[in-house]
Structure 1
Amino acid sequence: MNQTATMYLSRHAEGRPPSSLKHPAGVLTAAFVSAGICLLVWHTLPGALDSLNRMIWGEYVNAFPAWMPQVFNMFFLIYVVGSLFPFLFFVGLILLPDRTPVKNVSLPFVSIIIPSFNEQANIANCIESALALDYPAYEIIIVDDGSSDETLAIASEYDVSVISMGGNRGKAEALNHGIEKAKGELIFFTDSDSSLDPMVLRHLVGGFTEPSIGAVAGMVLPKHNSGYLLKMQMLEYLYGQCIIKVAQLKSGGAVSMCPGPATAFRRSVLMEIGGYRSRTLAEDFDITIAMLELGYRAVYEPKAVAYTSAMTSWKGLNKQRLRWSRGHLQVYREHRGLMFSTIGGSIGMFWLPWSLFFGYGSAFVEMAFLVAYPLLVIFSLQPLLFLQLGLVYMLILECISAVQGMVPLALARKLTPSLAFATFTTQPYRIFLSYRRIVAYMQEMQQRQNTW
């Protein structure tokens, strides 16, 4: 038996694991209903697509080679079912009843740790939002990780504790240094480019209703949503939190990742884990999974909101998502023993394998189609017809994606006309993310050096 399993079983020799399925019957019902709808789509969609082609092209549809519509129909079915099943399944999960007990929780002293590195443009706003929190007792600790700009000088102007690492030693070590100096029973982490809702601490602290809860994650949203890139990131953040995180919580009572800008941990749990580790580029994901392996739970509180500075340029986004994708792959590798394991409940049995194989597998499938499609256009006997037919299918796929994007907007009450329209333009952004995941996979295979 491996060390993780031994530690887990020693903590839960009595009773069931805290992150086992909360609604077994409900989860199975959601899975069967989603599968049934997808099977219905699989059997009826080819005929509907054929009728659509005849409606659009009329007598010209007979000019298509027989293989041409068949190629598109097959890809269309795979794409629709591959994206439709998880979406329907997750929506089914978020509709499950919430049995989390409502308890009055005391308000202990909280330490806020803010690591920073060359954040002179954002650190003042972050500190001021932290100083304005509606909470009776807390301290703020700024850990400067060897900034070469004015970050340290700006932070020193405020009534907060400022620690200088004396050099760039990495985010994980900066966080651990802050933990060593912290006095709070609970420790709240946020990023230096984020700003906090005044009630964020009260909502996070209120989530510690049971001893088995080791961390409470809040909601992270971009500060602005003007411009294509910011809108795409807003849609991405909302889907990941309003759909994925809520589905995780409703199905197994735990979430798989506590975000850096808005998470509170029990200090005792951090000590038991051994703090943050520098072995991955996704230290927040890594420490969450390490905590789950010890038998604790991480829950999600959407009322606790932090606003982050989302990327406004493709260059910045490219660097960020490459780092995130590599970090996630590193976490999957470090915690591979949790894959398909009952340790960690539904997170190990389903959510981690799904995020790995679907998240990265679908990227390779999408890139393969994008490479194959131009070749098929060029070498087909009727390239113009082939191109026109493909564009029609892509338009339909974009409409299906738009519906999936509007659901989290509605759940978050952010269904504005501009964001609703943006859900119809996500294809370029999805292609970009798929490409970065593939590059990240290649770099991990080559064991490139990690950098913050």
Structure 2
Amino acid sequence: MELGTGSHAQVVALVPAHNEEAALPAALDSLWQQTRRPDRVIVIADNCTDRTVDVARAAGAEVFETVANTHKKAGGLNQALAVLLELLAPHDRVLVMDADGALAPGFVETALRELADETVGAVGGIFWGEPGHGLVGELQRNEYARYARDIDRKHGRAMVLTGTATLHRVDVLTAVAAARGRTLPGPAGWVYDTTALTEDNEITLAIKSLGYRCVSPADCWVVTEVMPTWRDLWRQRLRWQRGAIENLRAYGLNRVTLPYAVQQLGMGIGVIAMWCFVLLTVLTAGAGYTFRPLWLVVGLIFVAERIVTVRRRGTRAVVLAAVMVVEWAYDLFLQGVLLRSVWDSIRRAEARWHHVSAPVS
């Protein structure tokens, strides 16, 4: 892994991959199609038993194979970055991208422009769900569309640097590694905390703790996988939610983590409010039906909000939102994930990593 030197800021793309021979070509093609192409594209092949290495090389990428890695994605990135950061200049950039995603053509160019601001530590993507997988896929795409809208309304201020694609500053990554074991959680010298369940959420907290901002511009979108089954979705979200809780526990309550703690509290209040609504509905129905115009208006406002927030996705998304009861059931599903995550965190139950590989055509 050799890199040239000079004043020109290099962009090196790292693509962690575990058995991703089916999805990898689309991810690499999206890198080659960038308006500002990366100077190097390196696939981090982690314990692969399929043709990931061959597919990567055939597509023109370099390959870094992990050695005895037991720490999943974070461990693979740490092994590659331990070599790479020694070869890069502080002003260079590192793009970390999932092997099952596809970047917008202007992603790198836009992210580089954002990183010209010295207060910005990293630029994350805004993810959109891939097509397919029936109702469970459609619900996830609506959810992602609302998340993207929320970020846009916050002028690109990112709560989490998505693991699907984030452009980092080398000097910031080096500072994170230097702070591990001292002012930041995690093993000393590593960029990513291998004890964290969600490396993207944790690295966001780390970068913000060093005083930098994290942003997600509207033009930095990326198409990512959606979970194909309810079981897969449950496992994915359980890891995400449990990881967020564990990260807050590791960092403690401070100026950086306060908004995240408030968010978790708000979600908990939402669970209580939802079930109070269900209970009130049952009690009201049992007492006999009485038409209340006020509650009709309130209900219509809720429906309108669901429709407006996904209207950019088209007719199918709007119809699904208008039905209301389907997305309401989806919200109950996510609340179940939250409750299980809290319970598992209290019990200190062992958390499990869940990986879904795309089928090879």
TM tier, shorter chain? 0.7 to 0.9
Out of 117, 122, 126, the position equivalent to 1:215 is 122
1:296 paired residue number: 212
1:439 paired residue number: 340
Distance, in Å, in 1 between the alignment partners of 2:69 and 2:306 is: 39
1:352 paired residue number: 260
Q: Secondary structure at the match of 1:207?
A: helix
Alignment-mate amino acid for residue 135 of structure 2: Y
Shift of 1:249: 4.4
Out of 222, 225, 230, the position equivalent to 1:309 is 225
Distance, in Å, in 1 between the alignment partners of 2:30 and 2:164 is: 13
Percentage of identical aligned residues: 21
Which blocks of at least 5 consecutive residues in structure 1 are unaligned?
1-105
Q: Secondary structure at the match of 1:337?
A: coil
2:247 paired residue number: 331
Quick check: 1:159 aligned with 2:60?
Answer: yes
Q: Normalising by structure 1, what TM-score?
A: 0.65
Shift of 1:393: 10
Out of 12, 20, 24, the position equivalent to 1:123 is 24
Shift of 1:138: 1.7
Shift of 1:213: 1.0
Shift of 1:407: 3.5
Quick check: 1:172 aligned with 2:74?
Answer: yes
Q: Secondary structure at the match of 1:119?
A: coil
Give yes or no for contact 2:158–2:214 (8 Å, CA) kept in 1: yes
Change (3 A) 1:112 1:292: same
Give yes or no for contact 1:217–1:300 (8 Å, CA) kept in 2: yes
Shift of 1:401: 3.4
Q: How does 1:234-249 map to 2 (within 5 A)?
A: 234-243=141-150, 245-249=151-155
Alignment-mate amino acid for residue 294 of structure 1: L
Shift of 1:399: 4.0
1:188 paired residue number: 95
Alignment-mate amino acid for residue 178 of structure 1: A
Change (3 A) 1:400 1:431: farther
Distance, in Å, in 2 between the alignment partners of 1:186 and 1:164 is: 21
Shift of 1:190: 1.1
1:231 paired residue number: 138
Q: How does 1:262-273 map to 2 (within 5 A)?
A: 262-273=165-176
Distance, in Å, in 1 between the alignment partners of 2:267 and 2:199 is: 19
Q: Determine which structure has the larger helix proportion and give its number.
A: 1
Distance, in Å, in 1 between the alignment partners of 2:300 and 2:76 is: 45
Out of 366, 370, 373, the position equivalent to 2:274 is 366
Give yes or no for contact 1:218–1:301 (8 Å, CA) kept in 2: yes
Give yes or no for contact 1:176–1:276 (8 Å, CA) kept in 2: yes
Q: Secondary structure at the match of 2:40?
A: strand
Out of 125, 150, 159, the position equivalent to 1:256 is 159
Shift of 1:189: 1.2
Change (3 A) 1:399 1:283: farther
1:73 paired residue number: none
Q: Secondary structure at the match of 2:172?
A: helix
Change (3 A) 1:141 1:415: closer
2:49 paired residue number: 148
2:110 paired residue number: 203
Distance, in Å, in 2 between the alignment partners of 1:207 and 1:249 is: 13
Give yes or no for contact 1:364–1:438 (8 Å, CA) kept in 2: no
Change (3 A) 1:404 1:353: farther
Shift of 1:148: 3.0
1:64 paired residue number: none
Q: Secondary structure at the match of 1:146?
A: coil
Which blocks of at least 5 consecutive residues in structure 2 are unaligned?
1-6, 178-190, 354-361
Q: Secondary structure at the match of 2:125?
A: strand
Q: Secondary structure at the match of 1:206?
A: helix
Give yes or no for contact 2:47–2:66 (8 Å, CA) kept in 1: yes
Identify which range, 394-403 or 442-451, moves more after superposition. Answer: 394-403
Shift of 1:260: 0.7
Distance, in Å, in 2 between the alignment partners of 1:242 and 1:178 is: 34
Q: How does 1:409-420 map to 2 (within 5 A)?
A: 409-410=310-311, 414-420=312-318
Change (3 A) 1:132 1:329: same
Shift of 1:331: 1.5
CA RMSD of aligned residues (A): 2.9
Shift of 1:124: 2.1
Q: Normalising by structure 2, what TM-score?
A: 0.80
Distance, in Å, in 1 between the alignment partners of 2:115 and 2:14 is: 19
Change (3 A) 1:367 1:161: farther
State the number of aligned residues. 325
Change (3 A) 1:322 1:393: farther
